[in-house]
């Protein structure tokens, strides 16, 4: 196994899977635009839910969609036609919280790295001609969560922007 400095094992496995045998291109150039969306999907585990989200992505011509509450187990990557689904989820089997991204083919080709920080935080790094870009998707605890969970979330956030 190759060790990628500064990356957790889940990060470098995702990095390798995403980068394997594909050329990179620039998503941000002076002559192109980038279309972003964000959805609280409430679950992607139910049959037909992924197709509904993919239809929204195509209808609105989004390049990147940040997802909250995917409720998918663990961290992973899945290809659905030309769309790439990247998730950061819980490893304890509980289907709560969880975040992720949907990437168009163009966005996927500009992907430099993925950092699944926790079940509530994931970042992606994209290549641009003028500057690279980092996008952070979070699912913050609400007021019904205990203070410890909120403190843990906030302690993880500053180190990843």
d(CA 41, CA 32): 28
Most confident residue range from 22-26, 64-68, 85-89, 155-159? 64-68
Domain boundaries, the chain: 9-160
Rounded Cα–Cα distance for residues 135 and 37 (Å): 12
Residue 149: band (very low, low, confident or very high) from pLDDT cuts 50, 70, 90:
confident
3-state secondary structure string, the chain?
CCCCCCCCHHHHHHHHHHHCCCCCCCCECCCCCCCEEEEECCCCCCCCHHHHHHHHHHHCCCCEEEEECCCCCCCEEEEECCEEEEEECCCCCCCCCCEEEEECHHHHHCEEEEEECCCCEEEEEECECCCCEEEEEECCCCCCCCHHHHHHHHHHCHHHC
Tell me what the mean pLDDT of segment 36-61 comes to: 92
Of the pLDDT bands very low, low, confident and very high (cuts 50, 70, 90), residue 110 is very high
When pLDDT is averaged across residues 138-151 and rounded to a whole number, the result is: 77
Instruction: Supply the pLDDT for residue 96.
Output: 73
- The predicted structure's pLDDT at residue 23: 63
Assigned CATH topology for domain 9-160: Deoxyribonuclease I; Chain A (3.60.10)
pLDDT for 130 equals 86
Q: What is the pTM of this model?
A: 0.78
- Mean pLDDT, rounded, of the chain: 80
What local confidence, expressed as pLDDT, does residue 27 receive?
Answer: 78
pLDDT digits 0-9 by tens, 75-97: 888 898 899 999 987 776 666 77
Q: What per-residue confidence (pLDDT) applies to 3?
A: 34
Section 22-45 average pLDDT: 83
Range of weakest confidence among 10-14, 53-57, 90-94, 118-122: 10-14
């Amino acid at each position: 196994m190759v060790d990628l400095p500064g990356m957790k094992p889940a990060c470098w496995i995702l990095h390798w899977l995403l980068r394997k045998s594909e050329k990179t291109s620039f998503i941000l150039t002076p002559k192109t635009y980038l279309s972003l969306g964000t959805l609280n999907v409430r679950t992607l585990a139910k049959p037909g839910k992924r197709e509904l989200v993919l239809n929204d992505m195509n209808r609105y011509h989004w390049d990147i969609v940040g997802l909250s509450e995917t409720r998918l187990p663990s961290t992973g990557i899945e290809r659905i036609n030309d769309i790439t689904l990247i998730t950061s989820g819980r490893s304890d089997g509980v289907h709560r919280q969880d975040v992720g991204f949907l990437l168009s083919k163009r966005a996927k080709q500009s992907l430099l790295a993925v950092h699944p920080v926790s079940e509530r935080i994931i970042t992606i790094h994209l290549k641009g001609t003028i500057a690279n870009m980092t996008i952070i998707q979070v699912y913050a605890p609400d007021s019904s969560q205990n203070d410890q969970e909120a403190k843990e979330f906030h302690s993880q956030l500053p180190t990843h922007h």
